[in-house]
Structure 1
Amino acid sequence: MSTTSEVAPGANLALIRKERGLSQARLARMANVSVSLLSKIEVGDRALTPTVAATIGKALGLSMAEVLGKARVAEDDEERLTALRSAVRDYDLPGRAQVEEAAVLDAVESVREARDAARVHQVLARLPGLLRSATTHAHSVNTVEAWMTLAEVYSSVYWLAARHRWMDMAELAVTRQRWAVEQRANPLGEAIAARDRAGAYLNGGDAEGGLMVVDRAIARAESTLSGEDRAFAVGVLNLRGMTLAGRLEDKAEGAREAERHIASAERVADEWFSGGDANRHSMIFGPQNTATHVLATRLDLGRPQEALEVAENLDAVLDGLPATRVAPSRLNVARAHLDVGNREAALANLSAAWEAAPQMARIHPTAREVFRVLASLHRRSNPELLRLSHMSGMPL
């Protein structure tokens, strides 16, 4: 069975169920979800949420990412993906040619800019060569800074893989990232690597495991770092923690864990970053990004109205944040509006997400799922849905 799919997540779930010869009733019993919910998800009347995808995946022996469906790359990107996999494999094999530090740093900055702008194709195009040159440079000079640069490149590899739900590459990337920061003592690098490792648990549907990684990393950061480095590390780890808590199957436990991480993140953000969010090593932390994560967490906890309350001042929250934060936040608001029955607001936010980051929206499971549900619910021609259909390649 292939879980690489160009269909929306709910439709992909239906394909997986049928390929396994399961009835809706049988799968619903296995996953402990209602037949009504499963039926609505498959026909497009309800969105398949990450939490439900993880629950069904666990029953099927699949990761959440596999249920949502891995995103394909364009035909002309296949060679670049193969080159990237090869570079990840050769993590301890530096090249023979000398690499100039300035050239590596310029290339890292170029990938940062492409990543912040959610230009997915450019990130993929630039990563294979950068990964090899950063590897060679780190092995050559053996400094904390060089190994941290290499770790940041692996973080971008993880980001790219996670966006496409390529879990094998995502898990290998975070392993390599951790290896890089361990070559020379680097507590901040370790904290960022732990944040990405917990993300691999998140994408795999194991929220409990991810929370264990986060809590252990917070304790270590608090004991090994000080000042703004400590605040930044604890902050980004708490953002990951609240997201993981929102995905717990036990929503009462999820709410307790989420509030703990939310309170810690907000306190650190107010104390250290009240002047604005900080962007370090392709990570962002501060009051604005904390608010976007609170919004997403409230939604994952099944509280769409609370999520919309966080979003009341959304333009100000998103002002100055990169497209990689703007688009997912708009998608979460679109999903919240769907949950409360406001189709027009859902469509407006879906369109805003596409405008902010079209390459990300094309492969984002929430973007594809919200579009599918809106197309099903409208049941008539809609100019904006038609425009998004042309942009996404998804039929009405």
Structure 2
Amino acid sequence: MGRTRSSADLDKVLTDLPALVDGAQNHAHAVGTPEAWAWVVEAYSTVYWLAARHRWMTLADLAVTKQKVAAQQSDPVTAALAARDEAGIYLNHGEFEDGLAVVDRAITEAEQNSTGLGRSYALGILHLRGLTLAGRLQDKQTADQHIDRAWAVADDFGEDVERCGIQFGPENTAVHVIATSGDLRRHGDAISTMEDLMRDGVSLPATRTSPLHMNTARSRLALGDRDGALEDLEKAWALAPQMAKVHPTSQEVLRVLTSAHKRSNPRLVKLAKKAHIQF
């Protein structure tokens, strides 16, 4: 399932999820180990991820509730993963301050209960969620605090690592900083961070690189570079077409581009047809 999720094959994830959830739960109830319950958290994290992509909010809420129960029987890092997704629910509903409160509590628990690289990973993914929430809230001070702390923790990793389909390290930190720079209207910073990231090379899966290009497309559009925005949007679609079709940033940029063009653009028409947007 991790490979399918990383490739952003939403249809395949949807097909495979019922068996994954059922198998993980049955195994956890049979053996009762923290590792087994971590697999349940991972299964419901995938449910949350898929539901959030499609904005199936009732299902996303249910998945996070199931995660929280399973995480109580697992380990501190898994608990941080569940808290990250819980904060994501508040992000999806636009309740950014409540989401930040969840992140703050989870950071305190991770600092107290985890050690080593597990602690760094747990804190890292929580700070990434925190900077995203603060950026949406337009709280620059809090966003910058989470950005600084995420970069600091990322130094503990030579390359990005993954747990339960969630990456953390220097690359995914850059991806999140680029998105939040756009939210804070620091579009020049978003582009320069992207250029630094691409210069060093990217190993992240399509679930992360496709949104990366969506967000740089948004920043290029804000800076008046419509051709650059279209090029980045094409990259996002090439990497993960199913995700690009349902992602709000992709839809937003594409709608602005189609409304701004006064004459036919074959490349733009092609994307608009894929997204079912009237040109």
SS at match of 1:247: helix
Aligned to 1:308: 191
CA distance in 2, matches of 1:333, 1:318: 16
Counterpart of 1:126 in structure 2 is 16
Determine what percentage of the aligned residue pairs are the same residue. 50
Listed one character per residue, the Cα deviations across residues 332-352 of structure 1 (whole Å, up to 9, x for unaligned) are 000001111110000000000
CA contact (8 A) 1:311 1:333 kept: yes
Alignment of 1:213-252 (within 5 A): 213-248=102-137, 251=138
Structure 1: which 5+ runs fail to align? 1-110
**Which residue pairs with 1:263 in the alignment?**
148
Which portions of structure 1, spanning 4 or more consecutive aligned residues, are displaced by more than 3 angstroms?
Answer: none
State yes or no: 1:280 paired with 2:163. yes
User: Following TM superposition, by how much is the alpha carbon of 1:314 offset from its aligned partner in structure 2, in angstroms?
Assistant: 4.0
Q: Could you say which residue in structure 2 is the equivalent of 1:164?
A: 54
Residues 84 and 126, structure 2, Cα contact 8 Å, conserved in 1: yes
State the partner residue of 1:149.
39
Aligned to 1:200: 89
Shift, 1:318, TM fit = 6.0
Q: Which secondary structure state, in structure 2, belongs to the residue aligned with residue 341 of structure 1?
A: coil
Q: 2:28 aligns with which of 138, 142, 149?
A: 138
Shift of 1:281: 1.8
Contact kept in structure 1, 2:174 and 2:197, CA below 8 Å: no
Q: CA deviation at 1:393?
A: 2.4
What is the CA–CA distance in structure 2 between the aligned matches of 1:365 and 1:383, rounded to whole Å?
Answer: 22
CA distance in structure 1 between the partners assigned to 2:140 and 2:272 by the alignment: 36
Check conservation: 1:318, 1:326, Cα contact below 8 A: no
Quote the offset at 1:313 in angstroms: 2.6
Which amino acid is the alignment partner of residue 282 of structure 1? G
Q: Any idea what the Cα deviations from partners look like across 1:98-145, whole Å, max 9, x if unmatched? A: xxxxxxxxxxxxx11111000000000000111111111111111111
Question: How does 1:92-131 map onto structure 2 within 5 Å?
Answer: 111-131=1-21
Q: Which amino acid aligns with 2:250?
A: A
Helix, strand or coil at the partner of 2:162: strand
Q: TM-score, normalised on structure 1? A: 0.69
Q: Map 1:324-339 to 2 at 5 A.
A: 324-339=207-222
Q: What amino acid maps onto 1:222 in structure 2? A: E
Task: Tell me how far 1:185 sits from its aligned partner.
Answer: 4.3
Q: Tell me, what secondary structure is at the counterpart of 1:279?
A: strand
Contact conserved, 1:288 with 1:317, CA < 8 A, in 2? no
CA distance in structure 2 between the partners assigned to 1:187 and 1:135 by the alignment: 19
Greater Rg by CA: 1
Query: Do the aligned residues in 2 keep the contact of 1:292 with 1:317 (CA within 8 Å)?
Result: no
How far does residue 317 in structure 1 lie from its aligned partner after superposition?
5.9
| 1:309 CA drift (Å) | 1.9
CA-atom RMSD in angstroms: 1.1
Counterpart CA distance in 1 for 2:121 and 2:53 is 24
Pairwise mapping of residues 341-356 of structure 1 onto structure 2 (< 5 A)?
341-356=224-239
CA distance in 1, matches of 2:132, 2:14: 26
In the aligned structure 2, how far is the partner of 1:387 from the partner of 1:281?
35
Q: What is the TM-score of this pair, normalised by structure 2?
A: 0.97
Matching of residue 292 in structure 1 with residue 175 in structure 2: yes
> Which one-letter code corresponds to 1:360 in the other structure?
M
